[in-house]
Structure formats: structure tokens, C-alpha cells
Amino acid sequence: MIKILIVDDEKPICDLIELNLSAAGYDCKCVQDGLKAIDLIESEAFDLILLDIMLPGADGYDIMEYIKPLKIPVIFITAKHEVKDRVKGLKLGAEDYLVKPFDVVELVARVEVVLRRYNKTETLLTAGNVTVDVEARKVTRAGKQVELTNKEYGLLVLFIRNKNIALFRETLYEKVWGDEYLADSRTLDLHVQRLRRKMGWEDNLVAVYKVGYRLEIG
């Protein structure tokens, strides 16, 4: 399992990030102190580090200098939004820079992009009795292969990678269709209905009022 270290001095933010990344299938650890983060990095192997800048003990820039020789990808997550701060973080070697407050779906997407860049993405995705072999683009339900259209497959992967997270209709259209959301369009609803039926998710893939859809599954 992909292991991610979250370093942020605000525990509610740490908990929120951990909750959503864990739901997406990642193994997460949180720490609120810069020196404690360095101790953890010394003792455990991580595939990605989400790093705040303003920290007690040692700030994010100091930690970044320490991490650089270890070749662990880093995404800065901070309230510092000035261009000079972003440039400094990127020049130190960070792969990305996300400014608070941020959308959870955007965070998960950026994590996936960085992990793909480092060839650290998992090739098998699971949700209940459904398995997706991403490399082979093969979907099975209870061991039996399921044929999906390209759009159904795109929705399936997006829902599994964001399990238990409410996804906005606009986000689903943008990620799967590459188009802007049209308020009167039934295209998404029809695809979700077919996906529910094919995956046996009549009770799991639920509509979220005035938002979109959420896959409720362990």
C-alpha cells in the first residue's frame, strides 16, 4: 500500500486529509511538529510527503532540505499563497504546491499525479468485490469480468479512488468527459445508473443532494 506522511501543525487539517486519503486507499501517518516529522522520515519509508511550511520545531523549507537527498516526492500544503513562496518551494524540489483552503478532490488528484510521475501508483484498485486492474484496464466483479464503456470505466476509477467522498457533478464531467457541466444534461445520471447495475452498487453509489454522487463502500 502507498504510504503517505502528512505534516501540518493544525490537527483538524491533518485529520481531514488523513480521512480522505485513507478512504482513497492510502496508508497515512500524521505529525504536527517539524522535528518529529524528521524523526519519522528517518525511521520509516514513505512514498509521498504532504508538507506544511509554518511548523514548530523546523519549518517546511528546513524539512525540504533534509528530504531532498532521499528522493521522496513532496507536495507543499500551506496558507502561504504569494508567488515568491510557491517559487521557493518549487525551487527546493517540491513536486507541487497546494494553497489552503483546498478541495479534497483536487488534493487526491494531485497526489495521484505525483505518484504516477514517480511510478508509485497501485495497479490494482478494489472496492468491495470489485477489482480494477489499471494496467490491463480490466474490471472484475466477484471474479467475473465486467465490460464497461470508456465513460463508465472513467467514472468507476474516479469513484473507487475517491471512496466515501462526495464528488461534484462538475468534477465528474470535467474528469471523465473533459467538458463543462451542463445543468440540464442527463448524461451523467444515465451512466451512473448503468454503472450501479453492472457493479451491483444500487445501495452503494448514492446521489448527494445538490452535489453529485458518492461511493459508500469499505
Instruction: Write the pLDDT tens digit of every residue in 182-201.
Output: 666 788 999 999 999 999 99
Question: Which of 63, 72, 58 shows the shortest CA–CA distance to 2?
Answer: 72
For the chain, where do the domains classified as CATH 3.40.50.2300 start and end? 3-117
For the chain, where do the domains classified as CATH 1.10.10.10 start and end? 124-215
Cα(72)–Cα(90) distance, integer angstroms: 14
Q: Is the pLDDT of residue 116 over 80?
A: yes
At 14-59, the pLDDT tens digits run 888 888 888 777 889 999 999 999 999 989 989 999 999 889 999 8
Query: pTM score, two decimals?
Result: 0.63
Residue type, 12: P
Cα(26)–Cα(115) distance, integer angstroms: 11
Which burial class, exposed, middle or buried, applies to 62 when counting CB atoms under 10 A from its CB (0-12, 13-18, 19+)? Answer: middle
Domain 124-215 belongs to what topology? Answer: Arc Repressor Mutant, subunit A (1.10.10)
Domain 3-117 belongs to what topology? Answer: Rossmann fold (3.40.50)
Classify strands 212-215 and 167-168 as parallel, antiparallel or unpaired: antiparallel
The answer to whether the beta carbons of residues 41 and 50 sit under 8 Å apart is no
Query: Grid coordinates standing for 214?
Result: 458518492
Give the pLDDT band (50/70/90) at residue 122. low
Q: CB under 8 Å to 55, separation ≥6 — which residues?
A: 7, 8, 9, 32, 33, 34, 37, 63
Cα(162)–Cα(139) distance, integer angstroms: 17
Q: Is the pLDDT of residue 6 over 90?
A: yes
Question: With pLDDT > 90 as the criterion, what percentage of the chain qualifies?
Answer: 41
Question: Which of 7, 95, 9, 1 shows the shortest CA–CA distance to 51?
Answer: 7
Cα(72)–Cα(159) distance, integer angstroms: 27
